[in-house]
Amino acid sequence: MALEKTFNAAEAESRIYADWETKGAFKAGANAQRDEHFSVMIPPPNVTGSLHMGHAFNNTLQDILVRWHRMQGFDTLWQPGQDHAGIATQMVVERELAATGQPGRRELGREAFTAKVWEQKQKSGGTIIDQLRRLGASCDWSRNAFTMSGAPGAPEGEEGNFHDAVIKVFVDMYNKGLIYRGKRLVNWDPHFETAISDLEVESTEVDGHMWHFKYPLAGGETYTYVEKDEDGNTLFEETRDYISIATTRPETMLGDGAVAVHPSDERYASIVGKLCEIPVGPKEQRRLIPIITDEYPDKNFGSGAVKITGAHDFNDYGVAKRNGIPLYALMDTQGQMRADGLPYAEAAARAQAIADGSEPAPEDATEINLVPDAYRGLDRFEARKRVVEDVTAEGLAVMTEATDPRLGRAAKKAPVEPGEGGEMRTEEENLVPLVEAKKIMQPFGDRSKVVIEPMLTDQWFVATDKIVQPAIDAVRSGEVTILPEQDRKVYFHWLENIEPWCISRQLWWGHQIPVWFDDDGNEYCAPTEAEAQAMAPGKTLRRDPDVLDTWFSSGLWPIGTLGWPEQTAELEKYFPTSVLVTGFDIIFFWVARMMMMQYAVVDQKPFDTVYVHALVRDEKGKKMSKSLGNVLDPLELIDDFGADAVRFTLTSMAAMGRDLKLSTQRIAGYRNFGTKLWNAHRFAEMNDVFDSMPAAMPTPQATLNKWIVGETARIREEVDAALGNFRFNDAANALYAFVWGKVCDWYVELSKPLLQDDAPEADETRATMAWVLEQCLVLLHPIMPFITEELWQTTTKRDQLLALTGWPTYTTADLLDAEADRELNWVIGLIESIRSARQQMHVPAGLKVPMLVTEMDAAAQGAWDRNEVMIKRLARVESLERADSFPKGTVSIAAPGASFGLPLAGLIDIDAEKARLQKSLDKLGKEIGGLKGRLNNPKFAASAPEEVVAEAQANLAARQEEADQMQAALDRLAELG
């Protein structure tokens, strides 16, 4: 069947993918011809998610590895699946219920609501799968897994056993003391009313304020406050009856348990151990708290004194735990000031007794609600406003001059006006509260978009300190390899500073905690309610309503997808898995947890190698963001350019440890690469190359054919070495240079005389070209699967799919002919040098020019004689004549064993060319000077965004390269006189 003029990706891709699936090309074990296995676990996308550029990049790299190993004959499995994504999926369903006017989650009740979620899963769960198919992902979809399969209420078709595996692990770890319930500080989302992971928190720089307040010393006590410079000279000294603190969250002052200063801070040494008063709340119940020392405060930041609110700040929590300071919770699950617990007067009295030491600090201080009646039930931000107003009205705000630059826009730049009666205001009257205007990092829920609150709540935790060591040892010993090296450091940093892992979420969609409580609060952990009840005969039990964090279940992904706890054949064959391809942002959240969990559960590593890739950014290096409007949708790009072009672009830029800067222009360029490959096959077809495909590897005699066969062996070795070392970009770029440059340009062009019917090398050249193009398809297939499969099946009748064709093993030792390699590279080098000289000298492209030679050894003479026709045609050379020396106006062209020259006198206006080049070079020099000045300016390097600096550096490099080329052309012109 004759090839169409162009490859129609939109029509062909779905047809080709359906053919692959119909013929079982992606089934586990397809094309297995060796005992070795190769298995990859897909990082499970959210079941209600859609393909984004990160998915496209990640899955393209996985697919390349999988297709490459499958073609090599490995027993290969690419295990697909989706994560139930608790909070994300619950949010989608709740929004859908609201949009369609249905009852909300709480009105429906848990069972009915989860049924709605299952409906949503079945409706939209296949979306991401179909999108991965469009990318060309060769997963074994018959084995598609889901982290909630087999859960109670799962509809038909969702049986599975992943849920059972998750529950079994929880129960086993609970019984071993590795899982426990406790009250700790967590990230709390007031919108969803649940704990969330660090990964679900987006810290964003916003305009904020820092309020400075006075905490009066107890009993009116005073001290001498002294500020000194670095040399110990006194800058400022005064008597104070307070200690100054600064806070960005005044509403949390109500729960302060202490004020901390650094042990080496001499300013406060005389008042350490004394008490100070929290400047808010009813005066008669105003609490006193101790001034303590701790390493946490920075004495060079602000006043050096820090309020410690252990129940509402992660740093404060650590200080409180180290120093035995009570943790007073101030807010409810919706971020409002608490209205429960003890009446304020009683709560304040108990807190004072604890501070005085007359009452021991309770392990759980929940009932002590220190929110004054006037603030109870207020939204946290309204409470902040009220606290600031009340403290300021009492005269306990630190004051400063109205022109203090720390006030930002609030600072008055003009002189202070006289008072109402015309009299000048006193210095004291010119003071205003010190409220610094400053940028602060604010944590937001990535889905709710509300401010996250550190919250002290009862949660379930994994005692990670008891299971972390094997995960550390495995990487240190080399049992598991993490690439690139820099990400090993990230991995170790996380694990060596690990905190207990909060695994409970206050949601309904997820694996419900398998723990029941009796009326006395006793716990009964069991896989089922019946088993729990058997542990508590005669008692009424209620189940913990919380569900497990999705990272807990996805932490079991490698074994859970293979059928564990059943000892399946797949588990025996494909575990431990071979490679995990993942993004750097989940090294801790997923990679480290899989390592910990697999060692804790089955005492085996989950994978041999972890390849960590970087981010896909826009063409200017900025992170893609909907708010910036720079998001590139991979599905739209596939529509516009085809999947192969998108895949090749991502692969060509996948340098280890380096972010990708993606642009549509680059993708269009690689679509042109596919067109070049297609056109080479059309050329071959028109020359009857595919009429008699060689049954075996050809053994050509012509130098050109020997050369291209050797080049093919060379690129095969280069691609294998690159992919074996996860240098995806090197593999892609080497293939690009080989297919476009060596095959489509040089070999196709040089072969044209040999393909003439009367040429003695015609049949050999057809057979060689057929084999070489076939090898191009095989070697390119893992990266560009669609166009290569189409060409494979269309150019000639095949017995099998390209996807299941064996990977070549030939080597340069077998196929490289050293003499042919030397000769053809000599010819190509000479043609390129002539073309370069013509271009630099602005010789008209169509003009044939004479060429001179002053010397030529036997090897060079033989190479010229055997390839004279090709050289003259491709270099636009009219003739070659010998000369004793080159006349004036000749451009010299060096080649191994020969010295050639192009006499251009009379063909070009040398003086005009010099003037043109010099003018361009001068202009370019000014641009280079400006760019260098900008980059050498310390202020620019320090203040400009990283992507702006990188762009300036790239521009300088490009301009410098252009200048170097112009200078080389000028130098050549200078030789001409």
Distance between first and last Cα of the chain:
59
- pLDDT for 229 equals 86
Helices 634-641 and 9-22: crossing angle in degrees, nearest 10, is 110
- pLDDT for 588 equals 84
Give a three-class secondary structure readout of 127-194: HHHHHHHHHCCCCCHHHCEECCCCCCCCCCCCCCCHHHHHHHHHHHHHHCCCEEEEEEEEEEECCCCE
- pLDDT for 168 equals 98
pLDDT band at 599 (very low <50, low <70, confident <90, very high): very high
- pLDDT for 804 equals 98
> What's the CA gap between 276 and 285, in Å, rounded?
14
Residue 970 has pLDDT above 80, yes or no: no
Listed in order, strand segments (DSSP E) in 487-645 are: 501-502, 504-505, 515-517, 523-525, 542-543, 547-548, 577-583, 607-613, 616-618
- pLDDT tens for each residue of 850-904: 999 999 999 999 999 999 988 999 999 999 999 999 888 888 888 999 999 999 8
CB 635 within 8 A of CB 135: no
At residue 325, what is the residue type? I
- pLDDT for 419 equals 52
> Before 576, cis peptide (omega within 30)?
yes
Per-residue tokens: 232: 């110990």
Query: In the predicted model, what is the mean pLDDT of residues 613-629?
Result: 81
Give a three-class secondary structure readout of 472-500: HHHHHHCCCEEECHHHHHHHHHHHHCCCC
- pLDDT for 414 equals 39
> What's the CA gap between 233 and 71, in Å, rounded?
76
Residue 299 has pLDDT above 80, yes or no: yes
Query: In the predicted model, what is the mean pLDDT of residues 444-449?
Result: 90
> What's the CA gap between 974 and 958, in Å, rounded?
24
Listed in order, strand segments (DSSP E) in 173-271 are: 179-189, 194-196, 201-216, 223-228, 234-240, 242-247, 258-261
- pLDDT for 427 equals 52
Sign of CA dihedral 513, 501, 454, 550: negative
Query: In the predicted model, what is the mean pLDDT of residues 627-633?
Result: 82
Per-residue tokens: 79: 């295990």
Per-residue tokens: 786: 């669609």
Query: In the predicted model, what is the mean pLDDT of residues 533-541?
Result: 96
H helical segments located in 781-852: 785-795, 812-815, 818-840
Residue 791 has pLDDT above 90, yes or no: yes
- pLDDT for 793 equals 96
Sign of CA dihedral 647, 653, 659, 662: negative
- pLDDT for 1 equals 63
- pLDDT tens for each residue of 198-222: 888 999 999 999 999 999 999 999 9
Residue 410 has pLDDT above 70, yes or no: no
> What's the CA gap between 18 and 22, in Å, rounded?
6
> What's the CA gap between 674 and 6, in Å, rounded?
10
> What's the CA gap between 741 and 11, in Å, rounded?
29
**In the chain, pLDDT over 70 holds for what percent of residues?**
96
Instruction: Output 662 or 958, whichever has higher pLDDT.
Output: 662
CB 204 within 8 A of CB 445: no
- pLDDT for 259 equals 97
Per-residue tokens: 640: 């516009």
Half-sphere exposure of residue 89: CA atoms within 13 angstroms, side-chain side = 30
- pLDDT for 928 equals 85
Instruction: Quote the DSSP letter at residue 624.
Output: P
- pLDDT for 518 equals 96
Query: In the predicted model, what is the mean pLDDT of residues 524-531?
Result: 97
Picking from 136-145, 147-156, 381-390, 653-662, which range would have the lowest pLDDT averaged per residue? 653-662
Query: In the predicted model, what is the mean pLDDT of residues 304-309?
Result: 95
pLDDT band at 659 (very low <50, low <70, confident <90, very high): confident
> What's the CA gap between 415 and 618, in Å, rounded?
48
Q: What is the per-residue DSSP string for 886-911?
A: PPTTEEEEEETTEEEEEE-BTTB-HH
pTM for this predicted structure:
0.87
- pLDDT for 900 equals 94
- pLDDT tens for each residue of 843-859: 888 899 999 999 999 99
- Burial of 675 (C-beta count, 10 Å sphere; 0-12/13-18/19+): middle
pLDDT band at 420 (very low <50, low <70, confident <90, very high): low
Residue 411 has pLDDT above 60, yes or no: no
- pLDDT for 627 equals 67
Query: In the predicted model, what is the mean pLDDT of residues 471-486?
Result: 96
- pLDDT tens for each residue of 729-755: 999 999 999 999 999 999 999 999 899
- pLDDT tens for each residue of 221-259: 999 999 988 888 998 899 999 999 999 999 999 999 999
At residue 547, what is the residue type? V
- pLDDT for 977 equals 60
pLDDT band at 629 (very low <50, low <70, confident <90, very high): confident
- pLDDT for 923 equals 82
Residue 413 has pLDDT above 50, yes or no: no
Helix (H) or strand (E) holding 318, with range, is: helix 314-323
- pLDDT for 904 equals 85
Query: In the predicted model, what is the mean pLDDT of residues 636-657?
Result: 95
- pLDDT tens for each residue of 319-370: 999 999 999 999 999 999 999 999 999 999 999 999 888 899 888 999 999 9
* Mean pLDDT across the chain: 92
At residue 356, what is the residue type? D
Query: In the predicted model, what is the mean pLDDT of residues 45-67?
Result: 94
Instruction: Output 774 or 841, whichever has higher pLDDT.
Output: 774
Residue 525 has pLDDT above 50, yes or no: yes
Nearest Cα residue to 863 out of 830, 911, 836: 830
Query: In the predicted model, what is the mean pLDDT of residues 168-188?
Result: 96
Q: Facing residues of 228 across strands?
A: 234
Nearest Cα residue to 589 out of 893, 197, 66: 197
- pLDDT tens for each residue of 255-297: 999 999 999 999 999 999 999 999 999 999 999 999 999 999 9
Instruction: Quote the DSSP letter at residue 375.
Output: T
